[in-house]
Amino acid sequence: MRQIHIDHPGTGLNYNMARELATSRAHNDPEIEEPIVMAWHDRGASKMSPVIEGGDINTRWHDYGESHSGHIEINVNGQYDFVFADAAGFDGYGPSPYVNLSDGSGTKYLCQRGLLRDPHQPEKGACVALDDYTSKMT
């Protein structure tokens, strides 16, 4: 797996900014047609994805990404790590029966499309509210 390091000057770097930088770099990589994040690690917050119970926070995310077809690992400022695979060889599943929606107060929901009367408005019986953690997983 190739390793790439991005030095981002300035202050205020957070996970979302680091992910955007890494994703942009992955999209410009000539060896990856359709980059997708397989694993990530936020050193400062001691978080990783996928979450693997009992796994070493400093290495398990990397092992997972590498063993699931990771092509490149992009490190941003020594703080954030992202493992990208190439999704170009995988078949699509077609349209999803689920959609992420937000209400007027900013609460995020996972909704079943077929149960919604208005495809842009979450409603009881068709949607489940997501917390900060689960909203990042969908």
* The pLDDT value given to residue 92: 72
Q: Domain limits at 18?
A: 2-89
* The pLDDT value given to residue 10: 81
CATH of residue 25: 3.30.1490.340
Same-domain status, 13 and 54? yes
122 Cβ neighbours under 8 A, 6+ residues apart:
101, 102, 103, 107, 109, 111, 116
* The pLDDT value given to residue 53: 84
* The pLDDT value given to residue 135: 55
Same-domain status, 52 and 83? yes
Same-domain status, 25 and 84? yes
* The pLDDT value given to residue 110: 94
Low-confidence residues of the chain: pLDDT under 50:
none
* Number of domains present in the structure of the chain: 2
Same-domain status, 74 and 123? no
> CA-to-CA distance for 36 and 27, rounded, in angstroms?
9
Same-domain status, 59 and 109? no
> What is the tens place of the pLDDT at every residue in 31-50?
999 999 999 999 999 999 99
Same-domain status, 54 and 113? no
* The pLDDT value given to residue 7: 96
Same-domain status, 119 and 81? no
